[in-house]
Amino acid sequence: MSEPTAEIHSAQLLSEVAALPALPGVYRYFDADGVVLYVGKAGDLKKRVSSYFQKTHGGTRIGHMVSRIVRMETTVVRSEAEALLLENNLIKSLHPKYNILFRDDKSYPYLKLTGTRATDGVVAGARTPAAFARLTYYRGGVDKKHRFFGPYPSAWAVKETIQLLQKVFRLRTCEDSVFGNRTRPCLLYQIKRCSGPCVDLVDPLAYVQDVRNAEAFLEGHAQSLVLALEARMQAHAENLEFEQAAELRNQIAALSKVLHQQSVETLSDKDVDILAVRVQGGRACVNLAMVRGGRHLGDRPYFPSHVQEACDILLAEDRLDGEAAETPPSEPAEVDVAVQVLQAFIAQHYLDVPVPSALITSVPVGSALLDALTLQSGVKVSAVHQPREQRRLWLEMAQTNADIALARLLAEEGSQQARTRALADALDLALPDLDQLRIECFDISHTAGESTQASCVVFAQHKMQSAQYRRYNIEGITGGDDYAAMRQVLTRRYAKLAQALREAGPAGASAGLARLPDLVLIDGGRGQVSVAREVFESLGLDLATIVGVEKGEGRKVGLEELVFADGRDKVYLGKDSAALMLVAQIRDEAHRFAITGMRAQRAKVRTGASRIEDVPGVGPKRRARLLQRFGGIRGLAAAGVDDIATVEGISHVLAEQIHRALH
């Protein structure tokens, strides 16, 4: 049994709990460091939150969490649907430890048609980009100035759709600047993928009709579109307009071929999301497949974190509220986890992504969640748990892909953990928990001494932690002096950490308040390791953490040897060693990270872009106007002050500053 709550929580916190209203809302728990532990919702804040502090929870996860609560925040809302939306907004922004959390993915890609239906053909009398809508790939926020279709699960799905539309409707894909400067048709016209609007080879009104037909296809009206095209073809034939009829015949044939290849077997499902969840080995996968305009566009797997912790808390909450329902005797925990994971995904995912009116799910979802989605989107959202016919086939495919993705993840994690264990054994690292092993690796990159940069990459929890990578611009050294560069980056990285270790003392260090990495990898041999040893000795740090990765004979991969700063003999792990594979993975990632940063810095210096942007008053827009007017940085550098001042937004005083910056 845990300690009574009155002994481990402050009187102020308990009084706040007692004063809570019996209204729907959202609550947040914080620990002593101000880190959010848990975000929850309740139809009755007083009943739910009080249940945490009125009972003892033993050594369970909820008991451990409750013992760390020192502060609480609550927000009252009007309904449980609003509470659910607010809860998941806070989960996505605060990343609490005891909630199921899906990482924010990159924004979904869209297919974009420039302009709106109202602007199509408005300026059809002139050969301008505005008269001819452009078909293009797009990623970012949508607006009302253009037409957007999607979202699509991948860039490949968008580009494949664009290719299909080019074959059937021959819409342009070129940039407006290219369109405005064409004097003869491009290759796409020659291969019948564009109708050549840039050089007046298509009537503007006919082009507008093709744009309308493309929209109808994207919206799922393919069959009615075919019928309409056939009617138009017949009308042209009856009027003896055989050329126009032949064009429509070819378009119908291309469209029919596309429909056959895409196997569109349903007319009722225009936009549907299929969601399949699988749970195994403490990990979970949600596979999202998208159907847009009746076409299956592909799928994408998602892997949540904090699954077991969050589900334990949720199950405990049900018991506390007396709301727990009996589950089937076969795999009750797994079934419950799958439901919680899928509901968490739906609630978090559709905060930023448009939700279709129909969801197909592998496990049932609660009506409260669907009500919240309806409230947020303004569209009635329904979910089908046991679909039939085509929907059943889609769900089976999504479940299969979820199984494959989860199996691949577990295999990769098992392999990476085996590599971590092999490295710890090879180097005799005494660690109570391999999950806490932290490795930092440094590399130096430059080109003949130009734009020297150092990289620091981090390996922890059995994988590379890209969010913790760091680049260091190396200055004040002789060009090409890798030893001086290594000395500078190690000093900059560990000087403050060494000071924190001295201030924290042994107790603080053991508590993890100031912690060195368990291993510091240096991409280099004895020379680089000697420099690292000097830096660590001057800072009073442990030399045993320094390991150099020395190239083998002939610099062949697999023959690397490990060099130690504390005087141990060199170690050759063997080219088939799992430990060497991990070392090589980390070393190669450090090299990649360093060289990409160096190249970007070098390009910036050589083009002079940084010199322009360093001038006060020159932002991205003015910089773009300058480079566009003079054809690049060289043309701008060759221009005089008066010429620069003719650019829109550039005063004579600013032109003088730009000229001085470039000379």
**One-character DSSP codes across 554-600:** GG-TT--EEEETTSPPPEE--TT-HHHHHHHHHHHHHHHHHHHHHHH
- Give the CATH class of 271-407: alpha beta
- Whose tokens are 């894909």? That residue is 173
pLDDT of 295 over the 80 cut = no
| CB count in 10 Å sphere of residue 447 | 13
Q: What integer pLDDT is reported at residue 324 of this predicted model?
A: 38
Both structure tokens of 475:
């200055």
Interval 61-93: pLDDT, tens: 778 888 888 889 999 988 888 888 888 888 888
If pLDDT is split at 50, 70 and 90, which confidence band does 359 have? very high
* In CATH, 434-604 is 3.30.420.340: yes
| CB count in 10 Å sphere of residue 536 | 23
Measured distance CA(387)–CA(394) in Å, rounded: 9
Classified as helix, coil or strand, 474 is coil
If pLDDT is split at 50, 70 and 90, which confidence band does 35 have? confident
- Give the CATH class of 5-94: alpha beta
**In sequence order, which residues have a C-beta less than 8 Å from that of residue 137 and are 6 or more positions away?**
109, 110, 111, 112, 155, 158, 159, 162
Q: What integer pLDDT is reported at residue 122 of this predicted model?
A: 62
Higher-confidence residue: 458 or 615?
458
Identical fold, 434-604 and 608-662: no
Q: At 416, which amino acid appears?
A: Q
Q: What integer pLDDT is reported at residue 557 of this predicted model?
A: 66
Instruction: Count Cα atoms within 13 angstroms, Cβ side, for 505.
Output: 1
Both structure tokens of 225:
């579109």
pLDDT of 132 over the 80 cut = yes
User: What value does the mean pLDDT take over residues 328-332?
Assistant: 42
Asked whether the CA dihedral 540, 541, 544, 548 is positive or negative, the reply is negative
pLDDT of 126 over the 70 cut = no
Q: What integer pLDDT is reported at residue 510 of this predicted model?
A: 47
Share above pLDDT 90 across residues of the chain, in percent, rounded to a whole number: 7
* In CATH, 608-662 is 3.40.50.11540: no
Higher-confidence residue: 477 or 288?
288
Domain locations in the chain?
5-94, 271-407, 434-604, 608-662
Interval 248-291: pLDDT, tens: 777 677 666 555 444 434 444 578 899 999 988 778 899 998 88
Would you say 83 and 90 are in contact if contact means Cβ atoms under 8 Å apart?
A: no
Q: What integer pLDDT is reported at residue 276 of this predicted model?
A: 93
